[in-house]
Structure 1
Amino acid sequence: MITPVLLCGGSGTRLWPLSRKSYPKQFVPLVGNETLFQASALRLSGDGFDKPVIVTNSDFRFIVPEQLSEVGIDPGAILIEPDRRNTAPAVLAAGLYLAGKDPDALVLVAPSDHVVPNAEAFREAVRIGERAARDGKLVTFGIEPTRPETGYGYLELAECPGDGAARVIALERFVEKPGLASAEEMVASGKYLWNAGIFLFSAKAIIEAFGKHAAHLVAPVERSVKNARPDLGFLRLDPASWEEVEDISIDYAVMERASNLVVVPFSAGWSDLGDWSAVWKESRQNEQGVALSGNATAIDCVNTLLRSEDDGLEVVGIGLTNVLAVAMPDAVLVADASRTQDIRKVVDSLKAKRARQAEDFPLDHRPWGWSESLVIGGRFQVKRIGVKPGGALSLQSHHHRAEHWVVVEGTARVTIGEETKLVTENQSVYIPLGAIHRLENPGKVNMVLIEVQTGSYLGEDDVIRYEDKYARD
């Protein structure tokens, strides 16, 4: 059996405004009906695969099991990183955790935000690399390049892969993201593949590789795993030990230094969806190269992507060429298709001016459901709040605001002080400033209400929690 390890702690800023720090691209259905994370988990499931181990951070710990449950996958361990430390510590933590169960366990490490249209072809490539991994090799998977791409790293092979059929080939070296001239030469030579950042090895082999090439990481990560504590089905890595861990990628820490690396070429389609141009390339297009999503209309457009991520918002393009337009309820991106690598600069600019759109998703996902701000005034805010069946907000109070709740779908159980009552559709309830209260959904369908907050301060930090079923501070 092979244990997939899915890494899903990234922020995906180059796909702003749809991907943001609070809800990044791996949890969004960018291509198709499933999210990238769900598609990755499904691709690495079935015969020959054990339950996936997930490495993520605290912000996403409830999103992960919810999205896996939606596609019928029961996860194994969900490791929670105290802070982002790049891919090397995450891979080592997963390897140490699995080695504690079986040092010879085969581990397939993969990002959770890639697109691989032919899942069966990829599983076959994994099977081809399995024997080498059992023999102690570190196996990586290289993508046959379709263009001289400057946004990817490359793998130089010891020999040309020929027709691109999946087989094990010795690796000469890793190559950093090249300039255009170098990329053109490498693609023309036929000896280079794109580095997909996907690896297969035994737990024992990767731990030995870290000990040889990045020994300074082993002790603190080992302590962090050893002192990890269970928390509502998650495994929280020890934060004190994790603070000592260097922020470094698996390529820099180990792979570029190891001598037992081999490559399995893969030519059946792949994309890391690293920017909006990549999304456009993977989207269904008409004869003019126009890709539409949501409430979008194109008139006399060529090579253009138009997306509306709001049911009540229409996006219309007229006479556009090589343009990307993505509309969210709180932000709109319009860009020349050749400038998508610069979207990180947009996020930096928004952060500098303290715009909440830089990092915060308009729909605030919580373990109990979600909330969405509809209107904000000087002393009031209107929100729409959805609570899933069995969900419950914390028992809480506020220093600076009162709240009015109007239930519009389902039934709410509301506690105010010592009184608990059911509030059904078209009924309302008032929570005075300072009152200890709780909102729950006791039903079997989603409950939605409109919340009107009034007061001198409406920030999310004006919450005093007394009890919380999700163990939040």
Structure 2
Amino acid sequence: MKIIPVIMSGGVGSRLWPESRETNPKPFMSLPDGDNLIRKTYRRATAFDNVTEIMTVTNRDLLFKTEDEYKAAKTSSIVQSFILEPFGRNTAAAVAAAAIQIQKNHGDDAIVLVLAADHLIQNEQAFSEAVNSAIQLATEGWLVTFGIQPEAPETGFGYIDANKSAPLGDGFKVNRFVEKPDLATATEYINAGNFLWNSGMFCFRIGTLMEEMEQHCQEVLVAVNTTISTSRLSEAPRYSALSLDAETFGKVPDISIDYALMERSERVATIPCNIGWSDIGSWTAMSELTPCDDSGNRFDGDVLTFQSSNNFVRSSDRLTSLVGVNNLIVVDTPDAILIVDKDHAQDVKHIVSQLKKSGHSAHLYHRTVHRPWGTYTTLEEGERFKIKRIVVKPGASLSLQMHYHRSEHWVVVSGMARVINDDRELLLDTNESTFIRAGHKHRLENPGVVDLVLIEVQCGDYLGEDDIVRFADIYGRADTK
């Protein structure tokens, strides 16, 4: 019996701004232990004996960053497959796309384990036991969800009403799903004893899943099938990436798998589990991963305090000092700082909404931006100039490109650079440089075995990232017009 874990990596995590941004969302954020959620999820998914393939559903712009994280996870070599969404279309579309591909490649008896890339699970042994129980129910024809034993009357989660009078192996049939309740209702659920938090993790037999989707949300299946038939599949040994067509994908119903299927099917079961689960849905939840001092303060970084209590500070780049303040969350990044009362931690998302409405790039990018070839960090910018630190991975190459409005000066700090500059090709060693005029085709490549680091100084009347024409690109980003 094959087990195919499907890692869903589509959320932004707007409540964790300014660390979580669209190009560096919550799964990629560094945790206090130095790891991150997507690596933890990947290692957890590969821990089962019958796993031969990991499928990841993510935004196409995060493909190369995700691949880098999987390499850093240092797990055994297995097949990696990706479904790349041009934009988010909710979880029903993502599950349907994964199911269609898995059924095509592995048949009806394959077991799908759907995991979120941004959940923390601290009891791996209990998780493994819960998965084995879920697989048993899935082989018997149940759609299985993992219900978390509630610790408190939480209003931020949906709930599962489990029929505890009719056990199914280690689980129970689901009576109903209920939306996020108010505090009074959540308290009633806790006191009733049969309600569980809805984790958003699932286990299905592919044949059962497809039968139930045909019956309860056929319009989703039809629309996703149409999308796949017009999409581009890239394949290599032990690797595939299906890039979903944007036009047809935009016509897929925007609905969650809970609404589309789980709340409608009569074949839904839940496995109650106590696995140290958290969706790290706010800075309050993130702060709980750090031990507190005698005053209830929690610090991730270099922090000094005086007569301050019950605060959380995350500041990795500079010293932060608190004097006479209480109950605050302070998150410092190189280009943005968040200060919020703990009682309003859930409201950080409203700042992200304001940034989007105003067109401010701080909801999209950090100063350090990841690209398939490496990273660039904006060090300083002003009228008609911008200074960047560029790091190119060994063997990687930027596109053959041109800018209309800016010229660039490149100075190699370390490593070796192979440069195409208009009609010249040259090798630059440490402390050597070149000047590229606006309108000249150019390309930067790292032919060495260590990172290439250089400083780029841009000058011109417009320095936006969209002033670029790509003529050729090894990552498939060349302009086609």
TM-score bucket of the superposed structures, by smaller chain = over 0.9
- 1:290-328 per-residue CA deviation (whole Å, 9 max, x = no partner) reads 221133334443222111143xx2222233322110000
Please tell me whether the aligned partners of residues 166 and 173 of structure 2 are also in contact (alpha carbons under 8 angstroms): no
* 1:64 counterpart residue number: 66
Which of 48, 51, 54 is the equivalent residue of 1:49?
Answer: 51
* 2:299 counterpart residue number: 292
* 2:31 counterpart residue number: 30
* 2:287 counterpart residue number: 280
* 1:237 counterpart residue number: 244
Shift of 1:127: 0.4
- Count of matched residue positions in the alignment of Structure 1 and Structure 2: 468
Q: Structure 1 pair 354/81, CA: closer, same or farther in 2 (3 Å)?
A: closer
Please tell me whether the aligned partners of residues 171 and 272 of structure 2 are also in contact (alpha carbons under 8 angstroms): yes
Shift of 1:161: 11
Q: Which amino acid letter does the alignment assign opposite residue 224 of structure 2?
A: V
Q: In the aligned structure 2, how far is the partner of 1:463 from the partner of 1:16? A: 28
Q: In the aligned structure 2, how far is the partner of 1:439 from the partner of 1:463? A: 14
Q: Secondary structure at the match of 1:159?
A: strand
Structure 1 gap ranges (5+): none
Q: In the aligned structure 1, how far is the partner of 2:423 from the partner of 2:166? A: 72
Q: In the aligned structure 1, how far is the partner of 2:226 from the partner of 2:189? A: 42
Q: In the aligned structure 1, how far is the partner of 2:178 from the partner of 2:165? A: 16
- Pair 1:423 & 2:423 matched: no
Higher strand fraction: Structure 1 or Structure 2?
A: 2
* 2:11 counterpart residue number: 10
* 1:147 counterpart residue number: 152
Deviating more after overlay: 115-124 vs 317-326: 317-326
* 2:103 counterpart residue number: 99
- 1:14-69 per-residue CA deviation (whole Å, 9 max, x = no partner) reads 10000011210111123422211110111111223332100011110111111101
* 2:315 counterpart residue number: 308
Q: In the aligned structure 1, how far is the partner of 2:33 from the partner of 2:231? A: 36
- Pair 1:436 & 2:435 matched: no
Q: Which amino acid letter does the alignment assign opposite residue 170 of structure 2?
A: R
* 1:399 counterpart residue number: 404
Shift of 1:341: 0.8
Q: In the aligned structure 1, how far is the partner of 2:354 from the partner of 2:280? A: 23
- Pair 1:215 & 2:218 matched: yes
Q: Which amino acid letter does the alignment assign opposite residue 472 of structure 1?
A: R
Deviating more after overlay: 275-284 vs 327-336: 275-284
Structure 2 gap ranges (5+): none
- Pair 1:452 & 2:457 matched: yes
CA RMSD across the alignment: 1.7
Q: In the aligned structure 1, how far is the partner of 2:392 from the partner of 2:165? A: 55
Q: In the aligned structure 2, how far is the partner of 1:161 from the partner of 1:359? A: 48
* 1:412 counterpart residue number: 417
- Pair 1:87 & 2:87 matched: no
Shift of 1:240: 3.6
Q: Structure 1 pair 35/433, CA: closer, same or farther in 2 (3 Å)?
A: same
Shift of 1:225: 2.5
Q: Which amino acid letter does the alignment assign opposite residue 466 of structure 1?
A: F
Which of 178, 182, 205 is the equivalent residue of 1:179?
Answer: 182
Which of 256, 264, 276 is the equivalent residue of 1:257?
Answer: 264
* 1:365 counterpart residue number: 370
Which of 322, 327, 330 is the equivalent residue of 2:332?
Answer: 327
Q: In the aligned structure 2, how far is the partner of 1:272 from the partner of 1:455? A: 45
Q: Which amino acid letter does the alignment assign opposite residue 209 of structure 2?
A: I
Q: Structure 1 pair 412/136, CA: closer, same or farther in 2 (3 Å)?
A: same
- Pair 1:339 & 2:344 matched: yes
Q: Secondary structure at the match of 2:277?
A: coil
Please tell me whether the aligned partners of residues 304 and 322 of structure 2 are also in contact (alpha carbons under 8 angstroms): yes
Q: In the aligned structure 2, how far is the partner of 1:339 from the partner of 1:238? A: 39
Q: In the aligned structure 2, how far is the partner of 1:306 from the partner of 1:432? A: 45
Please tell me whether the aligned partners of residues 146 and 198 of structure 2 are also in contact (alpha carbons under 8 angstroms): yes
Percent identity between the two aligned chains: 40
TM-score (norm 1): 0.95
Please tell me whether the aligned partners of residues 415 and 421 of structure 1 are also in contact (alpha carbons under 8 angstroms): yes
- 1:131-185 per-residue CA deviation (whole Å, 9 max, x = no partner) reads 11011100100111111110000011112899xxx92112111010000000111
* 2:277 counterpart residue number: 270
Q: In the aligned structure 1, how far is the partner of 2:374 from the partner of 2:141? A: 45
TM-score (norm 2): 0.94
Shift of 1:237: 2.2
Q: Which amino acid letter does the alignment assign opposite residue 399 of structure 1?
A: Y
Q: In the aligned structure 2, how far is the partner of 1:226 from the partner of 1:135? A: 31
Q: Secondary structure at the match of 1:283?
A: coil
- 1:186-237 per-residue CA deviation (whole Å, 9 max, x = no partner) reads 1111111100000001111111111111111111111222443223742112
Which of 189, 201, 222 is the equivalent residue of 2:192?
Answer: 189
- Pair 1:169 & 2:172 matched: yes
Q: In the aligned structure 2, how far is the partner of 1:407 from the partner of 1:469? A: 23
Shift of 1:353: 2.8
Q: In the aligned structure 2, how far is the partner of 1:319 from the partner of 1:150? A: 31
